A = this chain, B = another copy of it.
Amino acid sequence: MKPTDLGTYAKNTWCPGCGNFSILNAMRAVLAQLDEEGLPVEEVVLVSGIGCHGKIVDYLNVNSFYSIHGRTLPVATAIKLANPERKVICFSGDGDCLAEGLDHLIFAAKRNIDITLILHDNRVYGLTTGQYTPTSPQGFKGKSTPLGSAEPPMNPPELMLVSGATYIARGYTHGIDLLQRLFKEAILHKGFSFVDVLQVCMTYNNLYESYNKCVYEMKGNDTSSFDEALRLSRSWRYDGPDAPIPLGRFYQVDAPSFEEVFPGFELVDLDEAKREKKISEVLERMI
């Protein structure tokens, strides 16, 4: 399977130069490669939120559920629990996932459910034309905060770390090799995988220049160490533009995943006769 086999007839409507193209291309390549390597693409289900990022599912000829703003994870959770064989990948925005749907994100991490979440972290609401998000730096002048936002930013990798995610990484949309590597690792990781992608929004928050100056790839860090992961994830906290920004894998540990523990018993699929018999037993006990 070639990456191009995974395209659709949908017209791509991202802005020229948008970082989402890198995510799309990297994902397409990874899925095609995984298909070759024995993870058939029909076993993959994509779930997207609403925002520019969400459009990605239209561009991938893969099973998908185009959900609503902030709600990728509960949909994905059920798809995974319906059949733990599926590989479920969520595409979410920073407004989508860190504002509207933050609750679900933390619970997905807490449960360590085997889902991969790709955060298209452009630090702005793209599709609603430019408001601050939870990862915008304090003072961000967006449409809803023309005088600058009053809130300091959130640090998603750090938050994920204390919440229980077992794979945490950061990529950047200028750097498709790393993206591919991280996507593949994340998908293959058993447990909740969180990939924060510094996705540049050309139109409302063009940070190419500042990112290009600041990003560096972590090498040799101990990804099994909570403390080291914490230190590295706190070394840049989405505030100042000119601090070094670590890319790569922060953390990866092995831990029981939710779908392994849930529901706590062997799932049976009763045929109608067996079901009826069991129902009669229940009714008996109600006399």
Contacts and interface: CB of A to CB of B under 8 A. Distances in A.
B106 A150 contact: no
A241 interface: no
Given A103-B103, A154-B163, A148 B110 contact: no
A227 B16 CA distance: 44
Interface string A66-100: 00000000000000000000000000000000010
Contact of A134 (B110, B148, B158, B258): B110
Interface stretch (A243-251, A260-268, A270-278): A260-268
Given A103-B103, A110-B134, A155 B151 contact: no
Contacts of A265: 147
Nearest to A161: B162
B106 A152 contact: no
B162 A264 contact: no
Interface residues on A, range: 20 to 34
A151 B148 CA distance: 39
A130 interface: no
A111 interface: yes
Contact of A147 (B111, B148, B163, B264): B264
Contacts of A163: 154, 159
Contacts of A18: none
A152 B164 contact: yes
Interface string A95-121: 000010111001100111000000000
A111 B151 CA distance: 5
A106 B110 contact: no
A106 B111 contact: no
A162 B151 contact: no
Interface in A148-182: 148, 150-152, 154-155, 158-159, 161-164
Contacts of A112: 152
- Which 3 A-B pairs give the minimum distances between C-beta atoms? A147-B264, A150-B261, A150-B262
Interface of A: 99, 101-103, 106-107, 110-112, 134, 145, 147-148, 150-152, 154-155, 158-159, 161-164, 230, 258, 261-265
